Structure 1
């Protein structure tokens, strides 16, 4: 078992990024956004700032996903899609919200609602230059997020989409880079 910020990673956790390939992910055919360097997954904007979403091949119901992220250059606007991309799902924000023009790390974004709640205490927890660990849990309609081991958000979305893939977003319209590592999931 590996303790991370007081939380445990045991053999119920499955790595979904092994540091050497994207075999467990559905990579866009014309991929120019996602690359691997020294065991780290990089997301980098293309010249036209089209953006991209990297989806897991597998779909999930109730789960916890955890990953490390590090902000790079530009205005980082990224996040973790929880159970697909539609009007009844949550994307856990990482970085600056394009619509609000402020850091909304840990907050849920719902297409029909915007940001219904803001994560608490993020400014004191977030390392702007180093690695951070985010853990996002979804059980039924309830979403909970921890940042660097501290719970920062709990939200219930009525009529949430209850099954779908996990996605990593590189938001369109921005010039940015962001790194991910230690991406793992625990199905509940």
Structure 2
């Protein structure tokens, strides 16, 4: 009997532990799905990646680029993601670098001319084994340094010349560098939305750049990883995930033609609230300042339709003995006036019709003589 009880307790405990584990796993999966990021590296092969096999391979679950004294690269070389161009997106990955310089290319393009076919230009999220450039926005074959570390910049063009305008300082470059691990894994986060680019390393904003250079800025392009020319080096990338920004419109199974929007109809006032229409001499002035003087426009309307339109160009007081008015604190006098006839001819008939309707509603019907004679 005691053995059966112990066996039952063990089974219950194992079941509870398994349930908790499955629930935790499902919760993590749900969070990842809600996050909206898609893995673009399987951790085992270079499927959907294109780079020179002399330099690129998969080691220890990471895309690895390596040069040696016996196997140098003559120029910067890249491994290109074959998933198509990226526009607005967020990219997250981990990197580790030993020696040299590297970077993450985005919204980039293949360089023309004679090369190995893996030469890329465009925006770069830079990083290095040194202490200066990790986190900056660099333009590979594309305008050079666009935002140094710890700065917020705007890229502009004045007088036909490209300029980098510093907006403000976000942080101290040395303090940012102190958060970056040497020859160890670091988290890189790139956000590109519109022409606003933000780089983060280990959760710290390293650069904030807005590209207002309409002549050269890029809204989309290739994604690639860099192996820099120079002394022997090794760079590795893992856990590469991308989230494309911007919602896709839902496509209906049934398509209907889009109908043109109808104009809004004016709201008709109640008969009793109309009162008397303005007399022929009543106007309401709208005043606006324009070059060369101040323009007023007087409009009388009925049911949303203009009855009279008056234009007047006015300026500051002259020696003429005319009644002044005020615009922006300055006394002004009318020096020229024009008058245009609108729908005024409708005013009298409409006024009479409304008054007749109003009287008919409010006054009781009078009895005729014949009605008065009846008992």
Name the TM-score class by shorter chain.
0.7 to 0.9
Distance 1:170 1:138 in 2: 22
Counterpart for residue 232 of structure 2: 175
TM-score normalised according to structure 2 size: 0.43
Tell me how far 1:86 sits from its aligned partner.
Answer: 6.5
**Residue in structure 2 matching 1:13, options 34, 37, 49:** 37
Counterpart for residue 134 of structure 1: 188
Counterpart for residue 56 of structure 1: 81
Tell me how far 1:145 sits from its aligned partner.
Answer: 0.7
Alignment of 1:109-188 (within 5 A): 109-110=138-139, 111-120=141-150, 121-157=175-211, 158-159=213-214, 160-188=217-245
- More strand by proportion, 1 or 2? 1
What is the DSSP-based 3-state SS (H/G/I as helix, E as strand, rest coil) of the residue aligned with 1:123? Answer: helix
CA 1:90–1:152 in 2, change beyond 3 Å: closer, same or farther? same
Counterpart for residue 39 of structure 1: 61
Q: Is the CA contact (8 Å cut-off) linking 2:131 and 2:177 kept in structure 1?
A: no
Tell me how far 1:84 sits from its aligned partner.
Answer: 1.2
* 1:108 matches 2:137: yes
Alignment of 1:72-83 (within 5 A): 72=98, 74=99, 76-83=100-107
Tell me how far 1:138 sits from its aligned partner.
Answer: 0.8
Q: Is the CA contact (8 Å cut-off) linking 1:65 and 1:184 kept in structure 2?
A: yes
Query: What is the total number of aligned residue pairs between the two structures?
Result: 175
- More helix by proportion, 1 or 2? 2
- Runs of 4+ aligned residues of structure 1 deviating over 6 Å after TM superposition are none
Q: Is the CA contact (8 Å cut-off) linking 1:49 and 1:174 kept in structure 2?
A: no
* 1:67 matches 2:76: no
CA distances 1:45-80 after superposition (whole Å, capped 9, x unpaired): 1523334201111211101111101122x3x21001
Q: Is the CA contact (8 Å cut-off) linking 1:26 and 1:54 kept in structure 2?
A: yes
Tell me how far 1:36 sits from its aligned partner.
Answer: 0.8
What is the DSSP-based 3-state SS (H/G/I as helix, E as strand, rest coil) of the residue aligned with 1:122? Answer: helix
Tell me how far 1:81 sits from its aligned partner.
Answer: 0.6
What is the DSSP-based 3-state SS (H/G/I as helix, E as strand, rest coil) of the residue aligned with 2:92? Answer: strand
Q: Is the CA contact (8 Å cut-off) linking 2:123 and 2:142 kept in structure 1?
A: no
Gaps of 5+ in 1: 3-7
Give the CA RMSD over aligned residues. Answer: 2.3
TM-score normalised according to structure 1 size: 0.83
* 1:92 matches 2:125: yes
Distance 2:232 2:195 in 1: 33
Tell me how far 1:133 sits from its aligned partner.
Answer: 0.3
Distance 1:86 1:154 in 2: 25
What is the DSSP-based 3-state SS (H/G/I as helix, E as strand, rest coil) of the residue aligned with 2:177? Answer: helix
